[in-house]
Chain A
């Protein structure tokens, strides 16, 4: 019997759309779950995935992928690779492992929701693969660090972080709940698969894979670049969804979904990827700066594709986003290093003389702005007064992104007009924001966000006892063997003295 080509049967097997006669369409696809935006059923049936795959092909590919990464893992474990890695690089992968694996499981909930409430059979088919993909990512990224726990107790936070009230975990949950755990099918397709996955995840999963291979961390590089092969496919749910919306006069709605999640993605990746690339990755192995990776993956590749679909750059692109590329993550780094006991990895200061030269080259003006603060820190460390570089108070946290507000930093280096947070009165209370855009996102849907308590709100509400740094560390689940310390035991500060002599 002649074997059929896939394209001869593909449409038949995946186009299982039908009209409902015994139930109301709105009951099958409630607006809260589907968000059809009034686009009629037949219009949704035009949804056509660009990246086509049958279930049979899916299973073949996935076995191949897992065989590949697990065999590399088994070889590198035998070679005791982890012990040979730079301490800053280890911090980068611990930050990744704490922030990512459990949210992958949450993403599978979002995919499963699209697999049920997506408005076209073709879409539901792709989302089913997506749900399986995300389960794979959760499993692999929990298992790889699990086998490193005996070498490094901070690896335990790969599975633990998202179950704690650590501030980064609160920020991650707030974002991921907004984007997929508590989101409808259409918004998930636009915000998770299009904005987050076609756009931003490449920064972390491929940008860091680029650095991993230079560093010699074959295991991490092979793992995250393999994960991204799933993402490259299931992220393709976003484009056909966008096409249906645009074809049916819903461009403004789609644009707003992207504008919101582009900013939120920028915030979280500045924190995770920005610090890892520009401060934690050993200098000799850095291929590009965070800003250069942003230019490649977001400003060129993602925006090329987005604009090609007739969409516009977010409204705050020139005014707020582009200027932040030069400073925002540097400010976050300063804060994360200072509040290092509050994170589950060991922040690498990354400001030895050679590293500062690199920062000045990649971000002209760094020495005259951020460098001045690091001068003070360096001086204190040299005098044996590292205790002065540790926190006794709390930062103010943004009521949208849940990341500490660094407007005073932005103001001090001449990037913001005022040092105070962006504020909003709503239902009799004051909310604080790190940026005009986080405030705009909150104002767009205050009913969605207003009830959430930031970690500082919880402190003020008496939920954190005693209300001290120690009490907060206990509330966040951080124990002494986990709390972050300087990754290099301050060697960088003394390297500078030698260079100056």
Chain B
């Protein structure tokens, strides 16, 4: 994981509410496991936290459950999901954010 001061072009993934510390920590930890081929980038702005990767960012229910130690549906992200970068696809087992142009380049 690396932390950045400024958003870089081509980064995609969730932007989480700054007041939801449990979900922020869990998403960062899950992101490392669910995106083994990419560097996870975190930008903490206090009121919101970006957890991103370049071109494609994946989050799975299974990993979130393992990290949180309880049953978890991905739709439960919504109350913490203030925004996101990239196009999203929302399935039962995984949510994926991507930018086609960035994925091609990266």
Residue ranges of A at the interface with B (Cβ–Cβ < 8 Å): 5-7, 50-53, 57, 60-61, 64-65, 68, 72, 202, 205-206, 208-214, 218, 221-222, 225-226, 228-229, 231-233, 236, 239, 287-288, 292, 295-296, 300-301, 304-305, 307-308
A-B contact list, 16 entries, CB within 8 Å: A7-B91, A50-B90, A53-B78, A68-B19, A205-B82, A206-B15, A206-B48, A209-B18, A210-B18, A213-B47, A221-B47, A239-B87, A295-B6, A301-B7, A304-B85, A305-B99
CB under 8 Å from chain A, chain B span 51-106: 73, 75-76, 78-92, 99-102
Chain B's nearest CB lies how many Å from the CB of A301? 5
Contact between B89 and A57 (Cβ–Cβ < 8 Å)?
no
Query: In the docked arrangement, what's the CA distance between A295 and B80, Å?
Result: 23
Task: Verify B82–A228 contact, CB threshold 8 A.
Answer: yes
Q: Is the CB of A68 within 8 A of B85?
A: no
> B83 touching A228 by the CB < 8 A rule?
yes
Partner of A308, one of B76, B80, B89, B101: B101
B85 to chain A, nearest CB (A): 5
Contacts beyond the supplied A61-B79, A211-B46, A212-B47: 5 A-B pairs with Cβ under 8 Å: A50-B88, A53-B90, A206-B82, A208-B47, A218-B19
Given the known interface contacts A50-B88, A64-B79, the answer about A213 and B18 at a Cβ–Cβ threshold of 8 Å is yes
**Contact at B10–A304, with CB atoms within 8 Å?**
yes
- Bound-state CA distance A210–B8 (Å) is 18
B55 to chain A, nearest CB (A): 10
Q: Are B7 and A300 in contact, with the CB atoms below 8 A?
A: yes
B interface list, Cβ under 8 A from A: 6-10, 15, 17-19, 45-48, 73, 75-76, 78-92, 99-102
List, in ascending order, chain A residues with CB within 8 A of B100's CB.
Answer: 308
Question: How distant is the Cα of A231 from the Cα of B17 in the complex, in angstroms?
Answer: 13
With contact pairs A7-B92, A50-B89, A305-B87 given, residues A225 and B82 touching in the complex (Cβ less than 8 Å): yes
Question: Residue B81 contacts which of A221, A229, A300 (CB distance < 8 angstroms)?
Answer: A229
Nearest-neighbour CB distance to chain A for B101, whole angstroms, equals 5
Chain A positions within 8 Å of B102 at CB level:
304, 308
Residue of A nearest to B9 (CB): A300
Q: How far is the CA of A301 from the CA of B12 in the complex (A)?
A: 8
Residue of B nearest to A307 (CB): B101
Distance (whole angstroms) from the CB of A180 to the closest CB of chain B? 20
User: Would you give the shortest CB distance from B57 to chain A, in whole angstroms?
Assistant: 13
Task: Tell me, in angstroms, the Cα distance from A226 to B46 when the chains sit together.
Answer: 14
Output the nearest chain B residue to A64 by Cβ-Cβ distance.
Answer: B79
* Chain A residues whose C-beta falls within 8 Å of the C-beta of B92 in the assembled complex: 5-7
* From B6, B17, B89, B101, contact of A229 by CB (8 A): B17
A68 to B17, CA, bound (A): 12
Do residues B17 and A53 form an inter-chain contact, with CB atoms below 8 A? no
CB distance from B43 to the nearest CB of A (A): 9
